[in-house]
Each structure stands twice: as structure tokens, then as C-alpha cells.
Structure 1
């Protein structure tokens, strides 16, 4: 109950109790402290959980689309190559980078030449081709050798006829049957053909792409 005080002039005042002497203030303070302790503890738990997998090679699940089909990806690794080839004077061919995808599970793949079989990954070649004449060039119809495995390349059409002075960039995908992880591939042999649109000359490309596994 508030205490009343009368001064020498007869005026009456109500003495207000200081805030720190009010019991309900301290109840609120205790509740706030307990809430903050609980929040900090939960934050530490979440950090230790996410850090437990920091040394593994897996990444957050993602998805790639190859030839209009979707594939869930477990992990991937990208190699910057800046590889160039000017063996044929009609074209400058570059492989800018190579990405190796380890799929989240085996997927059934329908190959145009070998029928259906299970795959565990893809290799993606990012390529640029500059024509020094009117040419027809077909990296998406090429073949790749990875170890003892030979596979046909696929992808959405961007190659074919390229006229003199035109530069085109696109992706070539190579399915992989056996793949332990994205770092397990050291080199790729990639072969495809090209010809002059007038059929005066042709060329067979045979590229060896060395990947850095450091």
C-alpha cells in the first residue's frame, strides 16, 4: 500500500515505491534472462550441427537439367581450364571449364546408341567456338573417354552450322556410369568432327583435357 506524507504546509503526497523494489519487475527480468540463455544455447547447437559436415565433399542438394530431364545432384566440382585448340584453321575451339556432377542416386539413362543403363554422374563442358569460315561443327555429337568408359555427348542444340566470324558458346554433357566423387576424374579425351560448309575440307578433333585434382 502506498505511504502518504504531509508536509509543513499541510499538503499531502503519496510516496511512490522505487521501481527496483517492485516484485513484478524482477519477475520480468528473470524471465527475460532465461529466454536469452535458451536462445543462445539453441544457436550454439545449430552451429555445431552444421559444422559437423564441413569437412565432407557433399554440398546442399541441387538439380541440373540435361536433355530436358531433371537430376538431383549430391556434390559437384568445377575445373577452370582455358583450353584452346586451333589445329584446324577454320575454327578456334575453347573449353573454358569442366564441371563434374555426382548425382544423388543412380538414374536410368536412355542412350541413343547403347539403350538404357544406370548412371551416377555427368561431366559438363563449357565450350566456345569461333568460326574462321562457314563451318559445320558437332561437339554435341562427340564421344568422350573417361578411364575405361566411353560415352556419347548430349545437350540442347547450339552447335552445327556456324558462319564466318560468328562465335558461339554452349554446354556439352557426358553421362558417367561409375563415379565415386567429383574429384575422382583426372582427364577426359573428347572427340568430335567438323567440316567446311562447302565440303572442301573437314577435321576430326581429339582433345585431351587434364583436370587439376589438387
Structure 2
């Protein structure tokens, strides 16, 4: 209740509290402060001020290296009898063709050089670690019935001589009839390969023959011996 007082002249006055002593003023002030805090918090959660999310870095399965024909991967190479993890590979298109023997058309359209993660390999006789694979793609069309054996051939690369892995190669050679076209990959497993780009050339040797009653036919058998530079 407001206080009253009377002066010496008989005038009555009512005492008025200063504004800052009025309770409702402070209630309003508290409400304003609470509202302001709420508004500030809401503004800080606005999408325009949201911190960017952190994403885990991912490694691509395949990435280019300095060579346009070379890629690094983590893929599996599954062959007929074995599975390997590819570390790096390079593809070459030598476009080798030959029809000098018995009019047999032989084409090698692709050579795939693969650096693999070192793995124990059994060659049918013993087990040892291997680091590389070379796959050679053949296409053969004979003009007569022939026997053709690249999956029983040999390869020389970087001073290593290896026999073809017939178990992991495609089943496309052997007896090939006149007019037929056979295609497939011949696989060679290398003990050592530091990098795919160290393989600059390959030498391939394999045998072929045909049946004949002419004992004077010196052309009935053939040993192919070719060297191909690997560049595109």
C-alpha cells in the first residue's frame, strides 16, 4: 500500500515508488531476457550456421597412375584354379598378327601385365611365392586342321623364363579344325615383379603342327618364337 503524508499547509500527498522498485518491472525484464536467450539459441541452430559434417575418407577401388594404361586396384583375379589380389595392372594392345605358317591366322590383341600381392603358389611340383601374372590373349583361325599349343608354351620377361600355366589358362587350343576361330588367354605366373612398368617386352614360344602323309613336307611342324614390345 502506498504511503500518505500531509505537509504543514494541510496538503496530502501519496508516496510513489521509483520504477526500478516496482516488482512487475523486474518480472517483465526477466521475461525479456529469457525470450532473448531462446531467440539466440534458435538462431545458432539455423542450417546456415551448422558446422559441416565430417565424412570418412574412402579409397577408390581403381585409381589412375602416371601411365594412362596403368591402374591400381584391390580387386580379385579369379582364374580356373587360383585367386589373386591385384596390386597394379597395365594393359597393352600389340596387335600382333601372323599367317606365315599353313595360312593359319594368329592374332595377339591384348597383353595384360599384373602385379599381385605376393602369394604362395603351387605349380604341381612345389610351392613358392609369386608376384606377377602376364596374360596373353590369342585369336587363331586355321586354313586346315592343326594342332596348336600356346598353353604349353614359354614366356621370357625381365630375365625370367616361365612355362604357361595350362590349368589357369583358357581351354581354347589343341586340335583346331579348318575354318574354326578359337580365342582365349594364356596365363604365365612370375616369381618376381617389382612393378608392371618394368616389363617392357615379352618373348613367347609355342609349338604347332598338322598331320600329313607327305614325309617331305618340312612345313608340317612349327615353333613360333616372337618378341613383342609393350607400348601403346
TM-score (structure 2 length as normaliser): 0.69
Structure possessing the higher radius of gyration over alpha carbons: 2
Aligned-residue CA RMSD in angstroms? 2.8
| 1:64 paired to 2:68 | no
Corresponding position: 1:86 with 2:99: yes
| Equivalent-residue separation in structure 2 for 1:181 and 1:38 (angstroms) | 40
* 1:94-120 residue CA offsets vs partner (Å, 9 max, x unmatched): 11011111012x2122224x6322210
Q: Report what 2:228 is aligned to.
A: 209
Match of 1:193 in 2: 207
Q: Answer yes or no: is the 8 Å Cα contact 1:90–1:135 preserved in 2.
A: no
User: When you count strand as a share of all residues, which structure comes out higher?
Assistant: 1
Match of 1:31 among 38, 46, 70: 46
Corresponding residue of 1:5: none
Q: 1:121-180, CA deviations, whole angstroms, 9 ceiling, x for partnerless residues? A: 100101111111101101001011112211011213211111111111100111111101
Secondary structure of the residue aligned to 2:45 is: helix
Residue of structure 2 in register with 1:127 after alignment: 138
Change (3 A) 1:198 1:64: farther
Secondary structure of 2:198's aligned partner: coil
Distance 1:197 1:33, change over 3 A: farther
Can you give the 5+ residue segments of structure 2 that lack an aligned partner in the other structure? 1-37, 215-219
Q: Does 1:98 align with 2:91?
A: no
